[in-house]
Structure 1
Amino acid sequence: MLPHVLILGGTTEARRLADALHPRVRVTSSLAGRVAAPRLPAGEVRIGGFGGADGMAEWIREHAVGAVIDATHPFAETISFNAARAAATAHVPLLALRRPGWVPGEGDDWREVGSLVEAAEAVRGAGRVFLTTGRMGLAAFAHVDDAHFLVRSVDAPEPPFPPRMEVLLDRGPFTLDGERAVLADHAIDVLVTKDSGGAATAPKLAAAREAGIPVVVVRRPPVPEGVPVATTVDDAVTWAHAQRAQSASG
């Protein structure tokens, strides 16, 4: 029987990881189901939650999972901590795959904050705000009535959301020319983003730098204590095969 690896997340890295492991390894990718038409990875796919850490641990045991790789979005804090608890409960190894965060360069005007709530306070009265933090966090900005928001998301947001809001439905990767056009066409005064890292959405930072637009950056939460971290798909593949070899020898 092929070794079974559970990959958590629908990120670009998660899909690349599934492609790299399948079919030599049995792969099940677990997607949250928050996007209406997700890009499906290679191998098996399950959609929806597990019912917390205990439910995930039970699923791991029932499906003979030998290793778990948390390749969720860097801000998917709840699922990451559930994965850590579930893996410990089910006695299976866990790896976190996290793309490196962004680093400000010369000419950047970044204001780092610790949460979306802090970001909302930072943009009060800021004029026209380009909000690229995803539709799930819009409630944090719902009380801000003295700024106009351009919200970009894959699917249409649901309330609560800011009273003065325009929605731009789009999916990355984005280009520098495209981001320049968005900032100019909508007369953006400030950009708000999470420190997601990666190249797919980074052009907005370069466009903001060129335009002299300040950027409010939400710092990413830490990986659960004790969980090893890989920063590339290749390193995660190496780790998965090492678990396979260790299991076979044991």
Structure 2
Amino acid sequence: MRRILILGGTGEARSLAAALADDPSIDTVSSLAGRVRDPRIPAGDVRIGGFGGEDGLADWLRGNPVDAIVDATHPFAARITENAAEAARRCRIPLVVLRRPQWSPVPGDDWRRVPDLSAAATLLPGLGARIFLTVGRQGVGAFADLRALWFLVRAIDPPEVDRPARSILLLARGPFTVPAEIDLMREHRIDVLVTKNSGGEQTAAKLHAARELGLPVVMIDRPPLPSAAAIVGDVAGALDWIRSDR
């Protein structure tokens, strides 16, 4: 029986674990970082909590041998991905990165692409006064000093960092619908949407809503992936990689 470590927390990670659950030749263990208070638990064995960086992950791999690693973490979990790539190299374990495709602008979109949270915060004062902020709870602190702007902050769990003084917090988990997103933006008189290019359908409705309302979108680009990483774009690709000879 082959043992696969899935670094998870995404819908793709759960779908992959479910697809492998009925395969008698494969045993899986999914690792969740533990940053969400009420995570959706995947099929198979699950561990919750960080490893302690690349050294901690390498130590865990030595004590818990696996045949391959699938990094199916969030596209913006750059540090986890870097640690996984280095630990896999050190332990000589094959690794693939599963990343859903990015969103791309379509006719009618008004995107302002920026490389990171800091650049997004710098750009905002010239775009509008009422901001819909959907960058995850850990990214909210980058906007805390923008006292002249008003923010609707949406996250799954409450931020543990400072948030803008003029803001309200909306706790919600996708998927969201386009009509509901339009109503939300109208209710709060939103001028600008700020989001990360996470990709996927769960939260894409906000982009459709912004297009319908003619709102600019500050789109934060993904961090680069490790140059040596094997990359697949969906669960089917990950399954093919796992089941191929290597």
Superposition TM-score tier, normalisation by shorter sequence: over 0.9
Give how far 1:124 is off: 2.1
- Residue matched to 2:231: 229
Q: 1:68–1:92: 8 Å Cα contact kept in structure 2?
A: yes
- Residue matched to 2:159: 157
Give how far 1:159 is off: 2.9
* TM-score in terms of structure 2 length: 0.97
- CA displacement 1:160-207 (0-9 Å, x = unmatched): 111111011100011111111111111100000000000111010010
Specify the SS of the correspondent of 2:237.
helix
- CA displacement 1:21-50 (0-9 Å, x = unmatched): 124211111111011110000001111110
Q: 1:80–1:223: 8 Å Cα contact kept in structure 2?
A: yes
Q: 1:58–1:90: 8 Å Cα contact kept in structure 2?
A: no
Structure 2, gaps ≥5 residues long: none
Q: 2:138–2:161: 8 Å Cα contact kept in structure 1?
A: no
Which residue identity is paired with 1:46? R
Equivalent residue pairs, number? 243
Give how far 1:12 is off: 0.3
Deviates more, 1:216-225 or 1:120-129: 120-129
Which residue identity is paired with 2:7? L
Structure 1, gaps ≥5 residues long: none
In the TM superposition, 1:100-139 aligns within 5 A as 100-124=101-125, 126-139=128-141
- Residue matched to 1:213: 215
* TM-score in terms of structure 1 length: 0.95
In the TM superposition, 1:94-105 aligns within 5 A as 94-105=95-106
In the TM superposition, 1:1-250 aligns within 5 A as 2-24=1-23, 25-124=26-125, 126-242=128-244, 245-246=245-246
Which residue identity is paired with 1:149? F
Which residue identity is paired with 1:109? D
Q: 1:23–1:43: 8 Å Cα contact kept in structure 2?
A: no
Q: 1:96–1:229: 8 Å Cα contact kept in structure 2?
A: yes
Separation of aligned partners in 1, 2:7 and 2:116 = 23
Give how far 1:99 is off: 0.4
**How much identity, in percent, do the aligned residues show?**
53
Separation of aligned partners in 1, 2:104 and 2:67 = 35
- CA displacement 1:188-234 (0-9 Å, x = unmatched): 00000000000111010010001000000000011111101000100
Separation of aligned partners in 2, 1:77 and 1:213 = 29
Separation of aligned partners in 2, 1:17 and 1:55 = 24
Which residue identity is paired with 1:108? D
Give how far 1:158 is off: 2.3
